[in-house]
Amino acid sequence: MTTKGDIFGKHQKGSFFMFNCRINNNPIEEKQKMTTEQLLEYSNKYIMETYRRLPVLWREGAGVYLFDNNGKKYLDLLGGLAVCALGHSHPKLAAAIGAQAKRLMHTSNLYHTEAQVLYAKSLVESSFADKVFFCNSGAEANEAAIKLARKYGNTVLGGKNEIITMYQSFHGRTLATITATGQEKFQKGFEPLPSGFTYARFDDIASVKACLSNKTCAIMIEPIQAEGGVIVPSPNYLQALRELCDKCGILLIFDEVQTGMGRTGTLFAYEGYGIKPDILTLAKGLGGGFPVGAMLASQKASVFGIGEHASTFGGNPLAMTAAAVTLETIKEENLLQNCREVGTFLSKELAKLKGKFPLIQEVRGKGLLLGIELKIEAATLVQKCFERRVIIGTAGTKVLRLAPPLIISLEEAKAGLAALTDALQETEESIL
């Protein structure tokens, strides 16, 4: 089956990349082809039910679009949960991964690879950091940050090992990271939880100070609470945290798994606040869709010794190639500026929708990470947009989340807004 047509994505200086979008199955796929219904039945039968999935099966992606098993086209305003920074199947990224796969896919970290060394250099030179540790996901990156902070507290600070995190935060799904996460719904049923974490109110420096003790070694925070509802702190809050950490001699950890790699309009969100953390975690958009995570640290905080932390697949040549091309493309195609421009446009238009639809309680966010708080369950609007072939997500029960690829054009953003407007209109009419 072939879907004809070319998908164009707008990039640096008005230039265009052509995404050839054809859904072609090879002979093996044709021989084994099943209907969507059969595949969904198998999914329900064989895959653990840890996600509430919409009844769609994606076959192909190109630019800001996804195509289902029947060839229907959807505008993706969620980007794989802020992962597909360059859109789907970006030509440069796909070509680089393919070429690297033919050359070398994996070798143990007992040895060096050019791809890992050169990408580490690029990432450090693009950030505040002096050292980097590579892993495979955001949860792994945060797990590494927690271990590094405790190692620092125990060895440098003389036995301090508690970390302050924030209520409504989200840091991952491992035992340590769900404990760092300040939301009970992620922790329930997994007790006993590891000790050593206390929780402060986000955007409340007095609450953080009240949590300080003679055991505190670090403060861990998302610059914007994404999963918690796309909550943006007041302008001086993060600066106040930096000053507090300096005063107490403790570490400041930024979880930029979702805000990093251009999502807020700067390569890293901390750049927009005029401060630097001691430790930073990255994943999601880091590899443009390929699984990769990283923990960055200043020289002061880099206290891991040989054998104290590891990741079998961390920093493998495929991941490093994908991450290097992603970083290079973000810079070369001026996607940070595009993020700011389209993000500003979306923010202004969403604010207009707030004035038009009483269902909308608040619009917030930065760059291309935007939240729309509703007075009803957000899942209703997700479904109605899905029916209009536009993909959006949620951040909590009543917040819609938009995190489209950084390549999204104004025209594509307008198309998404039109669908959302229509969905809001239908929803309000049904309520009234």
The percent of residues in the chain predicted with pLDDT above 90, rounded, is: 91
Domain 6-86+335-431 has CATH 1.20.1050.10: no
Is the pLDDT confidence value at 8 over 90? no
Residue 109 has pLDDT above 50, yes or no: yes
Q: For 367-421, what is each residue's pLDDT tens digit? A: 999 999 999 999 999 999 999 999 999 999 999 999 999 999 999 999 999 999 9
Tell me the C-alpha distance between 68 and 208, whole Å: 47
Is 255 in the active site? yes
Q: Which residue has the tokens 């909590």?
A: 396
What pLDDT is stored for residue 32 in this prediction?
63
pLDDT of residue 331: 97
Does residue 14 surpass a pLDDT of 50? no
For residue 29, pLDDT over 80 is answered with: no
Average pLDDT, whole number, for the chain?
93
**Bond preceding residue 358 cis, omega within 30 of 0:** no
State mean pLDDT over 26-32: 50
Query: How far, CA to CA in Å, does 267 sit from each of 193, 216, 301, 336, 338?
Result: 34, 30, 22, 7, 12
pLDDT at 275 over 90: yes
pLDDT tens, residue by residue, 306-343: 999 999 999 999 999 999 999 999 999 999 999 999 99
Whole-angstrom distance, CA of residue 125 vs CA of residue 426: 50
204 is annotated as an active-site residue: no
Q: Which fold, 104-332? A: Aspartate Aminotransferase; domain 2 (3.40.640)
Q: Confidence band (pLDDT; 50, 70, 90) for 5?
A: very low
CA distance 127 to 148: 19
Quote the pTM value: 0.93
Catalytic, out of 160, 284, 366, 384: 284
The answer on pLDDT for 2 being more than 70 is: no
Is 284 in the active site? Answer: yes
Pick the catalytic residue from 170, 268, 290, 304: 170
pLDDT single digits (tens) 415-431:
999 999 999 999 999 88
Residue 155 CA, chain-centre distance (Å), reads: 32
For residue 311, CA distances in Å to 45, 110, 130, 135, 176 come to 32, 11, 20, 6, 17
Whether pLDDT at 1 is above 50: no
pLDDT band at 28 (very low <50, low <70, confident <90, very high): very low
pLDDT at 4 over 70: no
Percent of the chain, pLDDT > 70?
Answer: 92
Residue with the larger pLDDT of the pair 21 and 42: 42
Give me Rg for the CA atoms of the chain. 22
Residue appearing with tokens 């402060």: 200
Write down the catalytic residue from 17, 255, 290, 366.
255
Is the pLDDT at 74 greater than 90? The verdict is yes
Band (27; pLDDT cuts 50, 70, 90): very low
Q: Where are the domains of the chain?
A: 6-86+335-431, 104-332
